[in-house]
Structure 1
């Protein structure tokens, strides 16, 4: 998934998952899991019904009331659950949208998957064959107008994700249901006369939804915690305009939304805490204000004056202010920090940069040290030479094109053999991207390239990169696994069969048939058997020089002194507000 920030990251789009992805649902109670579960970072899947029941445990010291202010540099690309694949938007959506399942985060950051709208993480009807799954909705689930949330609404929401008109979100479910990476070849979604419910989905009454697959998909409970399973009543669906007011199924609803300026959330009086094991609704309102730079946000938090005592800086502390923040002991209790799950990488558009030698030269020319300095230094990033993150099971380190910490311009020039390629670098036009772009340009031009810098609207950055006909030769983007196995990274970012006109996550646009077959083979293995395969495929992919890892992210942000309960999500790698309160 991709974050937004700077995006922190990755945030944020995910699509393809392998057609046969299968990591066995071994259960595991709410008090922890076992090493056969999907990852050491999770407590597994809880099949204990009590873990999926509400209300969520009260937060010590929390009280209701007040108005929380969240400062954010740019508006969200999307708030429509079926279009969302950026983590800051996913964080916001947790406040007004619910999904069939969701991760519950413990105090130590350990994640356990539980039922959110559903009574549990799902029932495998075939006894571990993972081809037919049943979900039952809880009693008492209601939208912001008091109407009941139904299984048909969940099925309709998932069916929307097949449409090319709203193609930016995760495509796991569409690909698994269609048994094809070309998921909308036959069924194109409910618009333009299409059926309301996608083939493979069965609705029984108001509360039961059954998934029928042609291949095993044991990861389904994990895929359903993504916003693709957000319920959408057909009568409320406005197509692309649904972005402006998703219909609330959570503790808050949208009061006002002025694109590019402000989003105000207020309590949804029909949300029943007894149905929700994760969320609270302590503040009266939550307001996102778009526009302040990361520097402005951080300085306002440091000053902690007036209304800013009740505010949160969404962006990471910028490079220039890191020493001031980390060296001030009084800010420690207001600091949200930790290792993030995102890998930032340079994606080379192989449709335009077809010469392998040129791509290899770009890899050698890359100056990781300079880039890391622009994003905040060691406090916010560490060098990366692998596409998989160290947080993914089975990760192994490698460095295919080792240019050293600051790149190897001489080696790059040798590969270019006198050529001086002119390349367009598309960068995110926000403070993060504006600082990063000159560092990239300088390193590449030192190696003999001619680099044209082209800014991209930060609110549409991933959308633009995901267009097959985008006008750029390379860009720096990011990714974090939707759950910590290679199945949630490599098939998404490297399977060229998934390439569509829009909504792509394989933004290198590289396709290799032999490599794709190895993806399929690894995807059919249970997660406890596939870790080595994913690590090998990670290194094999690197040899195409289609993507070049740059850095692993860290998080460091501040809150006002009157804010409590903000957590750094182990899953999303960004701040989440399901337990936030004001003092």
Structure 2
């Protein structure tokens, strides 16, 4: 999941006087607030200082980790969710949220049932119903309208596919195939039943995503609902959302804490300010003055803030392993990147060492050649093809073998920030030395993934940067979500298969991996990862990194939930006042 909200920029851990392991997943370090968390304070205002604009609040379109975390904890309850944690190293467990339990599954693994709790209401006082969840999930199938979100419902549910691999159900706006959806998702009072296409032992984990959340039909405005927030959680939006500015969340008086064992909802109010630069966010957090003492950020620290964090934020930092892998994806619709040897050349010329240097050094970023994060059991640890720095000479030989005339012009898109500008300047040096003529195109953060997922981008860019982390602890939330053309590519765009990788044999391998369990499944997913990277050059993994977060001195109970998105979990945060 979870494209990370921040493009790059993590702290140099040594500069902070803290140590992590460089050869494996780092140890989480926190100066923490455990003592204060034992006596949380209700009331007050929690401030969120954000350096990147939000792309979606529509629950079915939300697929950035930060927004999933905040949306779920503040206003979009799901049938199941992940428990809060009491330390940065604690593993969260799957728990019931709007449902009475984590689900009942049939012996063959193909039918799941959940019963909704009584007493859950929308902010206008109407009861949240089974039909609201069924309708919300149905919106995922309208891939030409509800863009940007995960496609797990299309993947899991027993709804026939068309010849092109797309679902025969086209969503609630078109209505085509509605009877097929109603057979796969049905309501009987407060009980919702899901029919799976294949045995699915982890379906109840997928339901933790807001894409499986409720949406009331009479509130649906299609793509105009992008920043509409209609709450069934502890907070509601006060007024309207202002893109690139933010909004204020106040208590939802229709939320009943008796129905909710997850969200403590200590603050009376939460303000979200996304009008800031990352540099300003950290200047204010380090200064810790006025209302900023009541603030957190979801932004990992940029390199430019490191020295000041070390000297000015002692006792208010948290260092954790990022769940994300940063990678490049060549565009198979590009005249250049449609050629195997051109993709191979790009991979061989990629200087991961330059990337590591730009984000703060090898204490906080490690080069990788696998999409699957090292924290997952399926991690294949594929060797780098040409070392950390790449091999321009070897890459040039591959590019010459492609039949293209050198230098070969390529347009490379990335999510613009000061740090990313430096990163891609370093990568360009290696690519150009191999015979490419690299044109770097930085796209504003609030437009980035929307641009990648637009059909128009297929003719504009040759290579894209992206970041990805597992939606739950399984590689089945990585490989299919990025490389299964059948569930991703449609007339509305590539989904998360940004490079339009479409390979029938690879898709057969995905189907085979789904049929396995345990270590055999892990091996199969790892093998597919290695195949995508070293046979098809469908992706070029770059690094895994660590996150450094800073919080205000009045913030209590702030823990990074590594299982649930890898950011501060507001379910337990309170503010001294």
TM-score, normalising length: structure 1: 0.86
Taking the aligned partners of 1:533 and 1:7, their CA distance within structure 2 comes to: 30
For this pair of structures, how many residues does the alignment match?
A: 530
RCO comparison, higher one (Cα < 8 Å, 6+): 2
Distance 1:321 1:332, change over 3 A: same
Local SS of the residue matching 2:95 = strand
Q: Which residue in 1 is equivalent to 2:437? A: 450
Secondary structure in 2 matching 1:415: helix
Q: Which residue of 2 aligns with 1:478?
A: 467
Q: 2:313 aligns with which of 331, 345, 363?
A: 331
Report the CA distance between 1:249 and its aligned residue.
0.9
Q: Is the 8 A contact 2:4 2:467 kept in 1?
A: no
TM superposition shift of 1:363: 0.8
- Asked if 1:553 corresponds to 2:545, the answer is yes
Consecutive unaligned residues in structure 1, runs of 5 or more: 10-39, 41-57
Contact 2:367 2:544 in 1 (8 A): yes
**Aligned twin of 1:5:** 5
Whether the aligned pair in 2 keeps the contact of 1:322 and 1:379 (CA below 8 Å) is: no
Using a 3 Å threshold, how does the CA distance of structure 1 residues 378 and 307 change in structure 2: closer, same or farther? farther
| TM-superposed deviation, 1:305 | 1.4
For residues 172 and 546 of structure 1, what CA distance do their matches in structure 2 show? 21
- Preserved CA contact (<8 Å) 2:2 2:470: no
Aligned: 1:343 with 2:322? no
Asked if residue 413 in structure 1 is aligned to residue 396 in structure 2, the reply is yes
Displacement of 1:406 in angstroms is: 1.9
Kept in 2, the 8 Å contact 1:91–1:576? The answer is yes
Where do 1:383-422 residues align within 5 Å?
Answer: 383-399=367-383, 401=385, 403-417=386-400, 419-422=406-409
- Is 1:376–2:360 an aligned residue pair? yes
1:292 to 276, 284, 287: 276
Q: Give the CA deviation at 1:463.
A: 1.8
Aligned partner of 1:259 in structure 2 is 243
Give the aligned partner of residue 130 of structure 2: 151
TM-score by length of 2: 0.87
Q: Tell whether 2:419 aligns with 1:435.
A: no
Matched-pair contact (CA < 8 Å) for 1:175–1:183 = no
2:508 to 508, 511, 517: 517
Counterparts in 2 of 1:90 and 1:510: CA distance versus 1, 3 Å:
same
Per-residue CA shift, 1:191-250, capped at 9, x if unaligned?
145649644111101x11011224212211011111122111111112112222221011
Residue matched to 1:43: none
Equivalent of residue 192 in structure 2, options 201, 209, 217? 209
2:63 to 68, 85, 109: 85
Structure 1 residues 430-439 or 508-517, which shifts more? 430-439
Alignment match of 1:219 (pick from 202, 205, 210): 202
Alignment of 1:135 with 2:114, yes or no, is yes
Change (3 A) 1:119 1:503: farther
Structure 1 residues 473-507: Cα deviation after superposition (integer angstroms, max 9, x where no partner): 11210111112222111112122333223251111
3-state secondary structure, aligned to 1:544: coil
Structure 2 spans left out of the alignment, 5+ residues: 10-24, 26-35
3-state SS in 1 of match to 2:271: strand
Cα RMSD over matched residues? 2.2
Query: CA 1:534 to 1:7, structure 2 compared with 1: closer, same or farther past 3 Å?
Result: same
- 350 and 111 in structure 1: CA distance in 2 versus 1, 3 angstrom threshold: same
Counterpart residue number, 1:168:
148
**Corresponding residue number in structure 2 for 1:272:** 256
Q: 1:106 to 1:306 in 2, by over 3 A?
A: closer
Task: Name the residue aligned to 1:115.
Answer: 96
The aligned residue for residue 37 of structure 1 is none
Structure 1 CA distance, aligned partners of 2:313 and 2:466? 31
Aligned to 2:33: none
Q: Distance in 1 between matches of 2:78 and 2:7?
A: 23
Give 1:510 deviation, angstroms.
1.7
Structure 1 Cα separation of the partners of residues 207 and 518 of structure 2 = 18
Aligned-partner Cα distance in 1 for 2:84–2:449:
28
Q: How far off its partner does 1:170 sit?
A: 1.1
